[in-house]
Structure formats: C-alpha cells, structure tokens
Amino acid sequence: MKLLQILFAVTFLFTVTSASAQQAAPNTPTAPRQWTYKTPKIDRAAVDKYLADPGKVVILDVRRPDELIRNGSFPAFLSIQLADLEKHIAYIPKDRAIIIVSNHAWRGGAAGDQLSAKGYNVVGAAGSLDYEEQGGAIARITPPPAQ
C-alpha cells in the first residue's frame, strides 16, 4: 500500500511539473535558429543585385509544388525539390551564379552547401517569404485547371 502511495505521489508531482512547464513555454522566448550553413543567407538587396543581370544567374527553388503555389516565387526559376537534388543535378548549370530559394532559406542553405561541394557557383540562399517581407515582388503561380 505504501509503495502505491509513493508511486501516486511521484506520478502526480511529475504531471504537475510537466503541466507547469508546458504552460510557461508559450511565454518563454525561444532562441532564434543559428545559421549553420557555409552558403550565405542573402537578403533582398543582394538578390536584386543578381537579378539585375539575369543572363548570369539561375534561381533554383527547392520547395515542393504546393509551397510554390501557396507562396509564389521569382518570375523565372528552376524547380528541383531538395530531396531530388542529386537525381537532377545534371540540369543545373555550372556556368552561372546560383541563388537557392526556399521559404526562409533553410533548405536553400542545405542545398547550397551540397551544390558548392560539387563545384557549383552558389552565391547564396534566399527565402521567398523573407524577400517579400523586405518589399520584393514575388510572382504568384496559378496551377493549371483540373481536367
């Protein structure tokens, strides 16, 4: 009986402590993620500088199609999802600067490191949502009508 009371007390204490921690979590500021990629994260000004000479740059968007439709992208881009990058790497030109795009550049940073290690000229990773928040114009994509 004594063992059962102890187990109940420990369980109760754990539940109360866990609930208190969960309640405190939303009010506790979280530390921003640290950029750990070798590929630099670039802002709107840097993207615009490269877009001013479109013959020398390729925008590689590594997001899923549903993200492209929901969030838009740049007026012209090469779309290869991050998971398929190795399979379609031959389609990516090596003679141009490459900006890799994702929603907030995190997948872009991962793809940039992967391509840079293979000799591609990756100049940075950009987030299309970040670009738009900074005043840049993003093209909206309309999917074709269902047949």
Domain positions in the chain? 1-30, 44-133
CATH number of 44-133: 3.40.250.10
Q: With a threshold of 0.85, does the pTM exceed it? A: no
Taking the C-alpha atoms of residue 72 and residue 143, their distance in angstroms, rounded to an integer, is 11
Can you name the residues that pair with 125 across neighbouring β-strands?
Answer: 41, 100
Q: Provide the 10 A C-beta neighbour count for residue 62.
A: 24
Q: For the chain (length 147 residues), average pLDDT per consecutive 10?
A: 42 41 54 91 97 96 94 93 96 96 97 97 97 95 84
